[in-house]
Amino acid sequence: MMTSRQRVRAAMAGQPVDRVPVFPVTTRYLGARTLGIPVGRMALQPELVFDGIRAMKDRFGFDGLEVGFGLSRGYVPPTLEERDGVPYLLDAEGRP
């Protein structure tokens, strides 16, 4: 059986693995459920967010976790523009 690190590195190198690496997108709500606490406590005690992530990894055997830390600097949200009655999302340069 491979470790998570071995599995991920082998998969990224195109080598055989014992199973597909699992990297779920998680939420604070799922972390709170795994810890058995109300999700509101995470707002009051932010360190519980990490505890929830670690608990999910330990309990479910994920190979890693997708952890979002917010938007990057300089992020420009797309804008919505209507052209000839058709709505388009435009990027920062105004391209659909």
**Domain segments of the chain: what residues?**
4-69
Q: 57 near 65, Cβ under 8 Å?
A: yes
Q: What is the pLDDT of residues 71-88, one digit of tens each?
A: 777 777 777 888 888 888
User: The whole model's pTM is what?
Assistant: 0.57
Q: Which two tokens stand for residue 34?
A: 């795994």
Q: What is the pLDDT of residue 69?
A: 67
pLDDT band at 17 (very low <50, low <70, confident <90, very high): very high
Is residue 54 packed enough to be buried (19+ CB in 10 Å), middle (13-18) or exposed (0-12)?
middle
